[in-house]
């Protein structure tokens, strides 16, 4: 289940990155063709800003998709075939940042675009949170499986070694 959720998360993020890139392209072209300006800003500057902002968002979502796909492909556990590691702190941090971004975008786009866009973003957020819950820290399973060699067994009711 873990692998399927992470691969689905990666696919959803890649589709969403493409959608945001297309929206940025359309916004930039509309601003440029209709000669729109806000507060005296030139239409070319506004078009470039739309392209750069949406492009940066699309790149961030693609990076998060690659991280989720890699974590899903490598599987659980501290070490895998070939000495590769699963999702670490950086990967979890990126996915947490992506989840926070989806929450903020959902709140903003509810007012701007309506319930359909909000529902779509919240579904992606739910899949992201599920993926984060299924991710494990590298070495997390091995550390809880058995105490280190040479350590005394835990005593019932006594202080536990740190």
pTM score, whole prediction: 0.72
Q: Where are the domains of the chain?
A: 2-75+88-136
Beta carbons of 124 and 102 less than 8 angstroms apart = yes
Whether residue 83 is predicted with pLDDT greater than 50 in this model: the reply is: no
pLDDT at 153 (0 to 100): 63
Other C-beta atoms lying within 10 Å of the C-beta of residue 75: 13
Which helix H or strand E contains 117, and what residues bound it? helix 115-134
pLDDT tens digit sequence for 124-160: 999 999 988 887 654 444 334 555 666 666 666 656 5
The dihedral built from the CA positions of residue 105, 111, 112 and 115, taken in this order, carries a sign that is positive
Whether residue 13 is predicted with pLDDT greater than 50 in this model: the reply is: yes
């Amino acid at each position: 289940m873990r692998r399927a959720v992470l691969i689905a998360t990666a696919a959803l993020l890649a589709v969403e990155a493409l959608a945001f890139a297309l929206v940025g392209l359309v916004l930039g072209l509309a601003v440029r063709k209709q000669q729109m300006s806000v507060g005296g800003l030139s239409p070319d500057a506004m078009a470039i800003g739309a392209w750069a902002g949406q492009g940066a968002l699309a790149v961030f979502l693609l990076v998060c998709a690659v991280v989720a796909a890699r974590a899903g492909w490598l599987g659980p556990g501290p070490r895998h075939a070939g000495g590769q590691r699963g999702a670490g702190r950086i990967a979890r941090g990126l996915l947490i940042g992506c989840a926070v971004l989806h929450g903020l975008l959902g709140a903003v786009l509810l007012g701007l675009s309506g319930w359909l866009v909000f529902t779509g973003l919240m579904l992606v957020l739910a899949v992201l949170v599920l993926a984060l819950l299924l991710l494990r820290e590298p070495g997390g399973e091995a550390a809880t499986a058995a105490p280190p060699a040479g350590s005394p067994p835990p005593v019932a009711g006594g202080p536990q070694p740190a």
